């Protein structure tokens, strides 16, 4: 006799669990596609930290279109090149929330900084990973 009342309760609990799971999945999807920052403009950064020395200066010329960010990386290094060749060239990026991810077409340079106003702080990978802070030096769209 006790089994009959448990079946409707089990069904209600199953429906509640499914509804909660769908609600959580939807929030994560929204968080991944929400664009909360605009990275259009020219950004300057010096990667480093004491253990990396001063490998040079990097500029990002970006033009954001919704969550897609095409652009160009200009690198000024003491050698002008890395072990993989010139670091300057086109990049493709995307914005999700306040995170900007970018990569050059050869896969030799990539970054994942967090954007806060006119500053981006995160990691840059160029023959090794190092911290970098970019600062916006021109907020107008690249020409």
Give me the residues of the chain with pLDDT under 50, please.
Answer: 1, 26-27, 50-52, 79-82
CA distance 18 to 15: 5
- pLDDT at position 100 is 96
- pLDDT at position 143 is 55
- pLDDT at position 5 is 59
CA distance 103 to 70: 10
CB 140, CB 131: distance < 8 Å? no
Secondary structure (DSSP) of the chain = --HHHHHHHHHHHHHHHHHHHHHHHHHHHHHHH-B-----EEEEE----GGG----EEEEEE--BTTEEEEEEEEE-SSSEETTEE--EEEEEEEEBTEEEEEETTSSEEEEEEEETTEEEEEEEESSEEEEEEEEEE-SPP-
CB 42, CB 136: distance < 8 Å? yes
CA distance 111 to 95: 12
Q: Identify the burial level of 134 via C-beta atoms within 10 angstroms of its C-beta, where 0-12 means exposed, 13-18 middle and 19 or more buried.
A: buried
């Amino acid at each position: 006799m006790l089994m009959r009342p448990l079946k409707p309760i089990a069904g209600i609990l199953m429906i509640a669990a499914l509804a909660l799971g769908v609600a959580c999945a939807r929030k994560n999807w929204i968080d991944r596609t929400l664009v909360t920052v605009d990275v259009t403009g020219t950004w300057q950064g010096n990667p480093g930290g004491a253990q990396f020395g001063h490998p040079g200066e990097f500029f990002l010329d970006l033009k954001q279109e919704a969550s897609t960010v095409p652009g160009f990386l200009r690198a000024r290094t003491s050698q002008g090149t890395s072990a993989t060749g010139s670091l300057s060239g086109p990049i493709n990026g995307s914005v999700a929330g306040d995170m900007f991810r970018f990569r050059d077409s050869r896969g030799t340079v990539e970054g994942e900084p967090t954007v806060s106003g006119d500053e981006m702080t995160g990691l840059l990978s160029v023959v090794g990973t190092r911290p970098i802070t970019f600062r916006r030096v021109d907020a107008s769209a690249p020409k």
